[in-house]
Amino acid sequence: MKIDRLIGILSILLQQDKVTAPYLAEKFEVSRRTINRDIEDICKAGIPIVTTQGQNGGISIMEGYRLDKTLLTSRDMHSILAGLRSLDSVAGTNRYQLLMEKLSVGSQEVLTSNDHIRIDLSSWYKSALVPKIELIQNAIEDCRLIAFRYYSPKGEGEREIEPYLLVFQWASWYVWGFCLMRQDYRLFKLNRMMDLECCREVIDKRILPPYENEADRPFPIRFLVKARCKPSIKWRIVDEFGPETLEELPDGDFMFTAGYSDKENLFCWILSLGDQIELLEPCEFRGELAELGHRVYEIYR
């Protein structure tokens, strides 16, 4: 897009004293004539550009009209580039790599030095997530509805929403928007969305409420769980809930205590740990869990 190229040219001019039109043409894969038109457009926008002829000639911004490069320190640039790399890990394109190159023109060592942070937002479902993320991004930018079939614990059904925000949270991707069926703002998990499409209908953007990302909003704590655990599963509980949820008992076992939001998920978690855990509270769940275990036994016996 032209605006991206103009921003890229400005970035280069702000970080280098002088560049040539052939250099810019090769950098942005356009003709020299296109670069000349771009320079004219930048001048019309009020940014004074100077062109000089001859062996040491080139294109530069008028002396004195220059952003203070100290606005972004080297550490600032490293933080920005780490974030951009994380977006490229899931985007499926190299748009953020190109943006990284634009930001680091004249300071190429920023791309290679102190490269000690890696944030990978991709997942096992990357091939399915990438087109969904791209479609939702385009829908947000174009102010269009999206429609999809959604699978939830309460069943499945067709939904239409006004998308406003892509969210990576709780190790998964979500879209936050206004659900036309519920007439309220909802969070939808991308992995549960099928037959996703961007509608032709253009929406008028709403005055948005703040996005609340506290864990107890979508997953409110409904009951307290206590369970006796064997030392062999300590690593998993520490990994999933944190060491503060465990208390060592005199016999070497551990007492697990934590708030939980969903009984079905709790049962699945307990069963996944086999005979290395015993649910103690809520005590009314013990009978239900025993009945579930019996039904599983009947299937496999």
Over residues 29-47, the pLDDT tens digits come to: 888 888 888 888 888 877 8
pLDDT tops 60 at residue 216:
no
pLDDT tops 80 at residue 74:
no
Kindly state the tokens that stand for 39: 């320079």
The H or E element that residue 50 is part of is strand 49-52
Q: Is 198 or 55 the better-scoring residue by pLDDT?
A: 198
Q: Closest Cα to residue 58, out of 98, 92, 101, 17?
A: 17
Please list, in sequence order, all residues whose beta carbon lies within 8 angstroms of the beta carbon of residue 135, skipping any fewer than 6 positions away. 146, 196, 197, 198
pLDDT tops 80 at residue 135:
yes
Q: What percent of the chain has pLDDT over 70?
A: 75
pLDDT tops 90 at residue 1:
no
Q: What is the mean pLDDT of the chain?
A: 81
pLDDT tops 60 at residue 112:
no
Assign 16 a pLDDT band (cuts: 50, 70, 90). confident
Q: Give the C-alpha separation, 146 to 197, whole Å.
A: 6
Looking up tokens 């296109």 gives 34
Q: Is 198 or 95 the better-scoring residue by pLDDT?
A: 198
pLDDT tops 70 at residue 68:
no
Q: Give the C-alpha separation, 177 to 163, whole Å.
A: 4
Q: List residues bridging with 259 in a β-sheet.
A: 224
pLDDT tops 80 at residue 287:
yes
Q: Give the C-alpha separation, 167 to 291, whole Å.
A: 38
pLDDT tops 50 at residue 276:
yes
103 C-beta neighbours (distance < 10 Å), count: 19
Q: What is the pLDDT of residue 98?
A: 64
pTM of the predicted model over 0.85: no
Asked whether the beta carbons of 136 and 163 are under 8 A apart, the reply is yes
- Max avg pLDDT among 3-17, 92-106, 135-149: 135-149
